[in-house]
């Protein structure tokens, strides 16, 4: 199976799952990580085609998975999850409602700060994979005043229970 077919298969798998509630297993974030890994290995023309073909439903699920990846970063202290969380936004390409992307990127930024990762460096690192549209939004997010990025401003807080971090309504 070539990488493009593998991505399509992963998108179908993601589309068949609900992201409305936090998943009980790591299946969704692992599928999201596989999507990201395959995506960055593609030539630019294929990446653009894939982003253009992501349905609104799959796009919404990808950015939801990005939130779960931010939680995973805090729970494992692994920066790869922050990068993957940002890359799902690149793949979705800020197509539906960029405000939802920003709201979810706030979670990734919080997680990055929590584990000592530099969100600006993460964003700069994903720029080669970004469309012009995604790059504009990511640069705007990277450069915005930090006071705009408080979890409470978005009605969210980080909770630690049962030995794990998770984002919950404030």
Per-residue pLDDT at 4 = 77
Per-residue pLDDT at 3 = 80
Per-residue pLDDT at 102 = 97
This model's pTM is above 0.85: yes
CB 118 within 8 A of CB 112: yes
CB 73 within 8 A of CB 112: yes
Q: How far apart are CA 120 and CA 101, in angstroms?
A: 16
For residue range 100-152, list pLDDT tens digits in order: 999 999 999 999 999 999 999 999 999 999 999 999 999 999 999 988 999 99
Task: Using alpha carbons, list the distances in angstroms from residue 61 to 80, 120, 128.
Answer: 19, 24, 23
Per-residue pLDDT at 142 = 97
DSSP secondary structure letters along the chain: --HHHHHHHHHHHHHTS--SS--SSSHHHHHHHHHHHHHHTS-HHHHHHHHHH--HHHHHHHHHHHHHHHHHHHHHT-THHHHHHHHHHHHHTT-S-HHHHHHHHHHHHHHHHHHT--HHHHHHHHGGG--HHHHHHHHHHHHS-GGGG-GGGGTEEEEEETTEEEEEE-
Average pLDDT, the chain: 95
Per-residue pLDDT at 5 = 86
Query: How far from chain centre, in Å, is Cα 27?
Result: 15
The domains of the chain are located at 3-169
DSSP three-state, residue 71:
helix
pLDDT tier at 155, thresholds 50, 70, 90:
very high
Host H or E run for residue 167: strand 164-169
């Amino acid at each position: 199976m070539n990488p493009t077919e593998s991505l399509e298969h992963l998108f179908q798998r993601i589309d068949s799952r609900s992201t409305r509630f936090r998943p009980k297993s790591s299946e969704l974030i692992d599928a999201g990580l596989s999507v990201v890994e395959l995506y960055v290995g593609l030539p630019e023309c294929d990446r653009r085609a894939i982003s253009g073909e992501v349905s609104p439903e799959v796009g919404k699920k990808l950015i939801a998975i990005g939130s779960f990846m931010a939680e995973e970063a805090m729970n494992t202290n692994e920066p790869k999850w922050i990068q993957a969380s940002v890359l799902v936004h690149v793949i979705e390409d800020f197509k539906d409602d960029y405000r939802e992307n920003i709201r979810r990127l706030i979670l990734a930024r919080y997680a990055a700060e929590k584990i000592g990762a530099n969100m600006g460096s993460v964003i700069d690192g994903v720029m080669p994979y970004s469309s012009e549209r995604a790059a504009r939004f990511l640069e705007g997010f990277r450069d915005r005043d930090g006071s705009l990025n408080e979890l409470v401003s978005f009605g969210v807080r980080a909770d630690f229970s049962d030995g794990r971090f998770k984002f919950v309504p404030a």
